Structure 1
Amino acid sequence: MKLLIVVPALGLVYGGPSKIAVELAQSLGDLGISVDLVTTNANGSVSLDVPLYTWLPEKYHRIQYFPYWALSDYKISFSITKWLFQHIADYDLVHTNAIFSYPILPAYWACRWHRVPYIITPHGMLNPWALSYKAGKKRFYYAFLEKPALQCASAIQMLASTEAERIKPLNLKAPLVVIPNGIHRQDFEKLPNPELFYQKFPDTRNKTLIIFLGRIDPKKGLDLLAAAFGKVHTQFPQTHLIIAGPDNIGFLPTAKNYFTKAGCFDAVTFIGMLTGSLKYAALAAASIYVAPSYSEGFSMSVLEGMASGLPCVITIGCNFPEAAMAQAAHVVDINAEAIADALMQCLKHPQQAKAMGNRARQLILEQYTWERIASNLIEVYTAIIKKEPVPTL
């Protein structure tokens, strides 16, 4: 099987979907699939310093980068368009990641022109909240560009059962398959010493740390978190909130203002994006993980928080009802009071919180590893290529 993965960008500033595309390619390649990945060199306000127009070999897959130019929120790349029309027929199947992004459109068009089947992963962008955000821009784009491509897909990968349920009103013809994201087990078998994090951020030492991992973005619910943490910090003054994530859209001043208005800004540290051992050391230092999102596809950082054994407070917008069913996280409504109550529950009952964190770790390491996810996707790919019914996984 020869697979092409198309993703708009791999820059670290884009968070989940970019990370997911790379880790999926690695995992599929590890299982014997021939995987190529094409993308642009976008990385927020700058470009990645990478060779262009040439295959870069990784251990189990290849990556090729193409230049782009920015037009408002879109990344326009005529070179990737040309390449896709010239080479897409070389592949048995194409897997696109993201929607409402130009580099994906020529992949659809080239697939249809050359009759190559494709599967789409929207990464939560068809959820009602996501469609309503900047709805004016999306309405035309969806009706005339995105929806026709979705209707012709061989399958649409939903990352959660709730995501699949929420997009049913769109009346899409393509079969929906529910396959979540995953983590690499080895990354969480032994977390680094938290001292690595304390040395970098000494003001957090000897505090009860609550950690948020994610982009500084309106959909992440930082307004809710500010109101919730203001209430928590009043009753538990030893608590300190870590906000770890990049600001791609200039939203940081607004986010900081939320905490100023809530009266708890002095107990919050904005530390930017964390990667590698420093990120894992931050998770080791934390006592609680929180994800107050309005809308997600299926959050990688939620998986990381749970795999680290932390008691987690997440909203229903995170699309992870299975965590509640397994009593592996507090899954709460999307409002500040519910978030605050769950955080205080963890702080008041640390032994119960620790037991919940242990259940979370077990759940993720048993059911949400990339090896398992890649195996499930290969079943779907194989069915599509053989023109058999897509399995419900």
Structure 2
Amino acid sequence: MSQKLAIKPQNCYPHICHVVASINEEVGGPAYSVTHLTQALSKQQIFPHLFTLNYQKVGHQLATNGVTLHSYNATPVARYLRGFQPSAYQHLEQLASAEIDLIHNHGLWMFPNIYARQAAVINRLPLVISPRGMLESWSLKHSWYKKRLAWILYERKNLKSATAFHATSDEEVQSIRRLGYKQPIALIPNGITIPSLSNLPKREVLIQAFPKLNNKKWLLFLSRLHPKKGIDNLLYVWQSLVNQFPNWHLIIAGPDLIYYQAKLESLTTQLQLTEKVTFTGMLSGELKVAALSQSNLFVLPTHSENFGIAIAESLAYGIPAITTKGAPWKDLVEYHCGWWIDDNQKALKEALLEAINLSDKERQEMGDKGRIMVEKKYSWGVIAEEMSKVYHWILGEDNYPSSIHLY
């Protein structure tokens, strides 16, 4: 138990500071999961803080209702040097010394992640680290030479300093253990906001913006555009199927932070798919809801994913999903709401053939099962309750929670 918590009144909620590199909307992934988690924690006898940098060129920061936000505009140096901003660290260190009982760091490789460890160590606070998929084999191999240097300079030290880890899947637990870390690991998946299915936007909302979608069934990819998402495999497979299914259209939606869309559009042209594929860019608001709720099938052929929030989102709207075993979604098979396949073009083609050949009614029945499953297992209230138990346990206030995996 931290010394500061011990002298607080017993009815005072613990102050937990979540540190994440960015919560700007176009960043995706952790930006959404961390903001939703902190908001849900505010209803679980937790006083959440959120420390981050604001990268104004990648969209607005996501909402943090019920959370004390500590946000600092990223300097030009921070934008080009992985969040290097010593002045922001000074604010975090002061906050930690005055108010915080535990620091929960999300992600790796960025300077705010180093700042989280430094503030925790200096103030003798417990440190929880959520790698957010960044210790998976595929992720470690991508730009390995840069990560190897960062590993030697600071990341190994960061991870060694953790009081406990938070993993979102069994696979992520194993990734942490393979690297030799023996601290307790809380296995708690990401959550999902369960949407209402009443008054959903009509298909025409998206068709008006992208006329090629008219009179077609929609196969939706929605995630950030990045090589690890397997979009090139999807395009090669789609080329082999389009003549069989002329009434289907592939939508590729998501932010492009690394200028990858130009390569994908070039491949689309090379494969003569320009009339069969639509790149929408990032979708938000009604456009995103229309895409998720009005699509007939969702696909994420990823090489590596610690969770895959877009899969959960599609299921929450009653849309069956296809993803690879690079994502921890065996629930798709166990609950009969999608396809969990090997990460190769052959398996992807077979799954798409099976899914597209189903009747609309059969796909809808699968989607309905998926929505029931995410309501039961992945609502943010359920997730925040489990995470709250972990914090109270680390701080010596609660019993050993069932989510904890000991070495």
Aligned-residue offset at 1:60: 1.1
Q: Is residue 2:65 matched to residue 1:59? A: yes
Shift of 1:337: 1.8
Answer yes or no: is the 8 Å Cα contact 1:156–1:176 preserved in 2. yes
Distance 1:322 1:77 in 2: 41
Deviations 1:340-380 (A, max 9, x none): 21111111112433222121111111111000000000010
Structure 2 residue aligned with 1:27: 40
TM-score (norm 1): 0.93
Q: 1:360 aligns with which of 370, 389, 401?
A: 370
**What residue number does 1:219 align with?**
228
Query: Would the aligned equivalents of 1:154 and 1:175 in 2 still touch at CA under 8 Å?
Result: yes
Q: Does 1:122 pair with 2:131? A: yes
Match of 1:100 in 2: 109
- Name the structure 1 match of 2:283: 274
Q: What displacement does 1:221 show?
A: 0.6
Look up the match of 1:341. 350
Cα separation, partners in 2 of 1:361 and 1:75, compared to 1, 3 Å = same
8 Å Cα contact 1:37-1:64 kept in structure 2: yes
**2:190–2:309 Cα contact (<8 Å) kept:** yes
Aligned to 2:305: 296
Equivalents in 1 of 2:290, 2:59: separation in Å? Answer: 26
The one-letter code matched in structure 1 to 2:245 is: F
User: In structure 1, the residue corresponding to 2:290 is in which secondary structure?
Assistant: helix
Q: Find the counterpart in structure 2 of residue 53 from structure 1.
A: none
Distance apart, 1:180 and its partner CA: 0.7
Aligned match of 2:159: 150
Is residue 27 of structure 2 the alignment partner of residue 14 of structure 1?
yes
- Gap change, CA 1:188 and 1:100, over 3 Å in 2: farther
Q: How does 1:313-324 map to 2 (within 5 A)?
A: 313-324=322-333
Equivalent pair of 1:66/1:79 in contact (CA under 8 Å)? no
**1:247-285 CA-partner distances (Å, limit 9, x unpaired):** 101111111123233332321100011112221111122
Q: Residue 384 of structure 1 aligns with which residue?
A: 394
Q: Is 1:88–2:87 an aligned residue pair?
A: no
Aligned residue identity for 1:10: I
- The DSSP-based 3-state class of the residue aligned with 1:104 is helix
The 2-side partners of 1:73 and 1:294 are apart by 27
**Distance in 2 separating the partners of 1:387 and 1:303:** 32
Q: Secondary structure at the match of 2:83?
A: strand
8 Å CA contact 1:293–1:334 kept in 2: the answer is yes
Give the secondary structure class of the aligned counterpart of 2:132.
coil
SS at match of 1:327: coil
Cα distance change on mapping 1:284 and 1:91 into 2, 3 Å: same
Scaled by the length of structure 2, the TM-score of the pair is 0.90
In 1, distance between residues paired with 2:305 and 2:60? 30
Separation in structure 2 between the aligned mates of residue 48 and residue 215 of structure 1, nearest angstrom: 14
Query: What is the distance in 1 between the residues matched to 2:326 and 2:161?
Result: 28
CA distance in 2, matches of 1:84, 1:390: 29
Distance change >3 Å, CA 48–CA 310, structure 1 → 2:
closer
1:171 aligns with 2:180: yes
Deviations 1:198-253 (A, max 9, x none): 22222201101100101111111111111111122121111101111011011111
Paired with 1:129 and 1:265, the residues of 2 have a C-alpha distance of: 30
Unaligned stretches of 5+ in structure 1?
51-55
Shift of residue 390 of structure 1? 5.3
Q: CA offset at residue 188 of structure 1?
A: 5.2
Of 50, 53, 58, the match for 1:40: 53
> Do the aligned residues in 2 keep the contact of 1:305 with 1:312 (CA within 8 Å)?
yes
- CA 1:213–1:382: 2 relative to 1, 3 Å: same
Please give the secondary structure, in 2, of the residue aligned with 1:168.
helix
Distance 2:89 2:54 in 1: 14
Q: How far apart, CA to CA, are the structure 1 residues paired with 2:246 and 2:188? A: 41
What stretches of structure 2 of length at least 5 have no aligned partner?
A: 1-13
SS at match of 1:185: coil
Using a 3 Å threshold, how does the CA distance of structure 1 residues 278 and 59 change in structure 2: closer, same or farther?
A: same
For 2:233 and 2:58, locate their aligned partners in 1 and report how far apart those are by CA, in whole Å. Answer: 33
2:93 aligned partner, one-letter code: F
Task: Provide the secondary structure at the position in 2 that maps to 1:203.
Answer: helix
Q: 1:79 aligns with which of 80, 83, 87?
A: 87
Secondary structure of 2:49 counterpart: strand
